[in-house]
Chain A
Amino acid sequence: MFTIKLRVNVSSTNKRNILQLHFNGLLCSNVYLTIVLTLFVQLFFLPLNASAQEKTDNEVILEIAPKLSDKNTRDGALVQLIATDAPMSLEWLRALLDGVLYLRKSDSLPVIVEKLGNSFKMVNASNGNNEGKAGRREVSKIKINNAIRGKLRAAIASISLKDDDPQVRLQAVKTMTRSLNDSDLAAISQTLPVETDKHVQQAMQLALNLADLSGSGDQIKIDAINAIGINTDDSVTQKLRDLASQPEAPEVANAASESLIAIEKRISLYEKIETLFFGLSLGSVLAMAAIGLAITFGVMGVINMAHGEMIMLGAYTTWAIQTVIPAFIEYSLFIAVPAAFLVAFLVGMLIEILVIRHLYGRPLETLLATFGISLILQQTVRTLISPQNVPVSNPAWMSGLWEIDPALSLAINRVVIFFFCLFIFFTLMWLLRYTNFGLKVRAVSQNRQMARALGAKSGSIDALTFGLGAGIAGVAGVALTQLSNVGPNMGQAYIVDSFMVVVFGGVGNLWGTLLAGLSLGVFNKLLEPWAGAVLAKIVVLVFIIMFIQKYPKGLFPQKGRAAGD
């Protein structure tokens, strides 16, 4: 709506003497009114404030804190907090943004908390003293909303332009670039000559060039367009699009549209790479879910409808581990992988010994029995744990984006899961090819009688192999917790896909499973943009049915005696 620029000199160290607030109609009217009123009150009492300098900044902050927790005084208090120049204020703003600024209920002391399971570790927010632990009900959080979050980010950005960490500076410049204003630009052009980090320099230069694009003078604009070159940042394309559609300055419009064409070409290239990545990532999830099945169904020939529930058991193991050791979320996955393998392995062995062993050679009965087992396992989890989903946290090292370009960034958890899938795959290959156990597994699956005659204990081999397949499904479950929900039904989502991948890849062939998973993933993602998610899924299914009609043994049929016919 309008912009108010307000100079508030509250301290001698003028790190940010210009306080700028944008109100663009985002706030609901009563809040808006409160702010305007607060601002007027502030303007009126400004001399008074200045004369009250003997109050230390920290004392001022302490007075502000309780006001932050009341919706009616919150916005005014925030303006004050941003204007205060106390060394702690930046930490306060960050804590507020991160939602860790609390008030101790007993004495309204503002504390910055760290969550430890059900209790909080408190640190005094004004002097950093340790205040011990508190239960959930002893502290109350200072709540904020989206409009305030936006303002906090802008305020933090303008303070952290001189931060020691180049990453923080880069983030600050990027936040500023989204909505450039004069004071930010002044600050940027002031700090650019002393900036040492290359990436931050580039970001700052881009911000200045962008400002030139909205400035005056055609030549300046054209120079700025040339200086920006091919940059896929959203703010650049938006600005260029505006310029290209302005008929009053044809030269600028020409330069802008030329540059835009080059940028769009680059973006469309990145989009293709992104689609490929999405496909490979979906493929790795499919392949991972299917590898366990490739063992039980592919190698042993058992139709295991409870395969999805093995994935679920692995996922619940991850949840259990995170619940038992809430302080070590970062390492929880490393513990969860072997633990989930073990749990699913044991359950798998148990199922084999109790049920499947008695049904070999009777595929229909195996199918029904394992389907029954899957229902029993689901309902057991529902009854013992809860019918609701359970929360599994992502460790910090698996969150976030790996930004290659503004138009191309890859999710780190998906990259990790892709390589984890390859790791499982090659470990399994090695196990089957180069170990004594693997030799026996292959022997039993190819010719049970002959293997037994040569001394392989087919009974224990069967149990171990089935356990292995189940264990690998459990490990897949650990990875899936990072992408999807963990609940009693989660296994159902993967069972059809898993069978699809195994059948498409060729029963009994691990390579086939991997390649089938990856190619189905890519195929699905190529279809999705123009067919929609629902149709893409149908098309993939139809494609597989047609493919199996033509090649009943899948992509990589087994040859020779192993084919079994």
Chain B
Amino acid sequence: MKTKSNFVQVICATGLCLASATATAADTIKVGVLHSLSGTMAISETTLKDTMLMLVEQQNAKGGLLGKELEAVVVDPASDWPRFAEKARELIEVNEVDAVFGAWTSVSRKSVLPVFEELNSLLFYPVQYEGEESSKNVFYTGAAPNQQAIPAVDYLEEEVGVERWILAGTDYVYPRTTNKILQAYLMDKGVAAEDIMINYTPFGHSDWQSIVSDIKKFGSTGKKTAVVSTINGDANVPFYKELGTQGVSAEDIPVIAFSVGEEELSGIDTAPLVGHLAAWNYFMSVETDENDEFIEGWHKFIGTDERVTNDPMEAHYLGFNMWVKAVEKAGTTDPDAVQEAIIGVSVPNLTGGLSSMLPNHHITKPVLIGEIQDDGQFDVVSETDGLVAGDAWSDFLPDSKDIVADWRKPMMCGNYNVKTGKCSGQHLQ
């Protein structure tokens, strides 16, 4: 199988996806996979492409969908935001896919959003994000801020006794919005302004000496201090290396990250990071039958048991299964019918519960806090009781606290203001 997936990759890399897609029989249900296989985001997104191919293969082994075979159409938007929109249009108009699974960064999602709305197709978005959005055509299977950031802060405050906070992030929309929500949340809880330090760094920042030194100073007042990190991508490795070099241990100043998972750690020597934390809705180390089966299937598909699984992979697993169930329920792949059918659909997640699609197009998930171990895995130290429902519009931001999203009839609105009773179309005005 590995050779086949490589083959698809090579074909796509040379821009011949179109040819491979149109050459197949007409009686299949097509699923679009919109993940970067080259460029900066390939580091994270390639795995998700493989996950989708695996899920499609497994579904076909179970007899396909509605008696038809599923077929994955893979395109490579090459980490280039405008190209995401082009490739999305190509998937929907030329390849006539019935649903698309893809995108990673918020900017790529924002870039494809108008395309999906215009052509009325479905996008399943698998990555934790900043919220403040709910589109009729998008299903957010990753965590909203209240399913990751808020429980993480609660854990640090209640169980670790943190009183001083450093919100460190990469300078773009997800960290900025998340930190805005967290800052409002912490201030609400009575944390003084001087006990919160906010720091932004450019993408791919590699020299962390001064910032880590500042973190050390900020944490030397005797009050327990923690870093809430929304640092993204490649910048994490030098950041954690610098923490290790300057001797900031997890017992002194724990760092809790929202963008560092098993996949990211597989590229780092984790010995100096042991004990630092991450908040996710899934960890590879969770011991459930569903997870064992998923990991086994993944290792079989990818051809090596060295590869890890991570949270966005689970999000695709959930999104794909929800879509399959909704199509079966609706008896058709028609986007409008699936949209209506999918709300309320529940599928087993990999951590031993049932996740359901909510009317606001977000899903219910458990929140887990894990400590990094020296084998690159996480050991779960805290877990929410039950599942947390994803909240599209944060209750902690003044602009969005009165907004709700509900895509059931008759409301059918992604941003209904409960105070004014108005719905301002697809986008909040």
Contacts and interface: CB of A to CB of B under 8 A. Distances in A.
Contacts of A488: 42-43
A67 interface: no
A501 interface: no
Contacts of B207: 278, 282, 285, 524
9 smallest CB-CB distances across A and B, nearest first, come from A389-B267, A485-B237, A278-B209, A238-B222, A387-B42, A533-B201, A411-B245, A234-B220, A484-B238
A383 B13 CA distance: 10
B371 interface: yes
A391 B269 contact: yes
A274 B217 CA distance: 13
Interface in B176-216: 199-202, 204-207, 209-211, 213-214
B268 A389 contact: yes
Contacts of A24: 161
A490 B40 CA distance: 9
Contacts of A486: 267
B275 interface: yes
Contacts of A409: 246-247
Contact of B247 (A27, A388, A401): A401
Contacts of A483: 206, 238, 241-242
A238 B43 contact: no
Query: Looking at A409, A484, A532, which has the most chain B CB atoms within 10 Å of its CB?
Result: A484
Contacts of B161: 24-26
Contacts of B373: 99, 141, 143
A153 B244 contact: no
B36 to A, nearest CB: 9
A487 B159 contact: no
Given A485-B234, A532-B200, A146 B275 contact: yes
Given A389-B234, A533-B211, A489 B43 contact: yes
Given A149-B251, A528-B210, A533 B38 contact: no
Interface string B1-34: 0000010011001000000000000000000000
Contacts of A392: 269
Query: Looking at B46, B199, B221, B245, which has the most chain A CB atoms within 10 Å of its CB?
Result: B245
A534 interface: yes
A565 to B, nearest CB: 36
Given A282-B207, A383-B6, A388-B47, 8 more contacts: A149-B250, A278-B210, A383-B10, A387-B42, A393-B269, A401-B247, A489-B204, A533-B201
A490 B206 CA distance: 10
B353 to A, nearest CB: 19
Nearest to B36: A387
A414 B209 CA distance: 10
Interface residues of B, number: 60
A379 to B, nearest CB: 6
A281 interface: yes
B251 A401 contact: no
Interface in A211-243: 234, 237-238
B288 interface: no
A529 interface: yes
Contacts of B274: 99
Interface string A350-389: 0000000000000000000000000000110011000111
B379 interface: yes
B238 A382 contact: no
Nearest to B381: A145
Contacts of A492: 40, 204
B93 interface: no
Contact of B42 (A143, A234, A382, A493): A382
A145 B213 contact: no
B366 interface: no
Interface string A514-541: 0000000000110011001110010000
B382 interface: yes
12 contacts: A141-B373, A145-B381, A234-B222, A238-B221, A278-B209, A389-B264, A389-B266, A484-B238, A485-B236, A486-B267, A490-B234, A528-B210
A411 B246 contact: yes
Contacts of B254: 146
A393 B270 CA distance: 9
B214 A382 contact: no
Nearest to B6: A383
Given A146-B371, A493-B204, A534-B200, A28 B159 contact: yes
A383 B10 CA distance: 9
Nearest to A493: B204
Contacts of A285: 207
A399 B382 CA distance: 32
A274 B213 CA distance: 9
A149 B204 CA distance: 32
Contact of B201 (A237, A389, A484, A534): A534
- Chain B contact residues, majority secondary structure: mixed
Interface string A471-504: 0000000000001111111101100000000000
Given A141-B373, A382-B42, A484 B210 contact: no
Interface in A141-173: 141, 143, 145-146, 149-150, 153
A475 B209 CA distance: 22
Contacts of A25: 159, 161
Interface string A253-274: 0000000000000000000001
Nearest to A391: B269
A23 to B, nearest CB: 11
Interface string A270-313: 00001100100110010000000000000000000000000000
Contacts of B43: 387-389, 487-489
A489 B40 contact: yes
A529 B201 CA distance: 12
B210 A145 contact: no
B374 interface: yes
A11 interface: no
A484 B205 contact: no
A533 B267 contact: no
B94 to A, nearest CB: 25
A277 to B, nearest CB: 8
B160 interface: yes
A26 B159 contact: yes
A219 B238 CA distance: 49
Nearest to B249: A149
A528 B200 CA distance: 11
B2 to A, nearest CB: 13
A107 B224 CA distance: 42
Contact of A487 (B160, B171, B234, B275): B234
A383 B251 CA distance: 39
A391 B268 contact: yes
A313 B236 CA distance: 21
A318 interface: no
B202 A485 contact: no
Given A145-B275, A146-B275, A484 B171 contact: no
Interface string A410-450: 01011000000000000000000000000000000000000
Interface in B268-325: 268-269, 272, 274-275
Contacts of B46: 382, 387
Nearest to B79: A489
Contacts of A124: none
A394 interface: yes
Query: Looking at B13, B201, B237, B242, which has the most chain A CB atoms within 10 Å of its CB?
Result: B237
B210 A413 contact: no
A544 interface: no
B399 interface: no
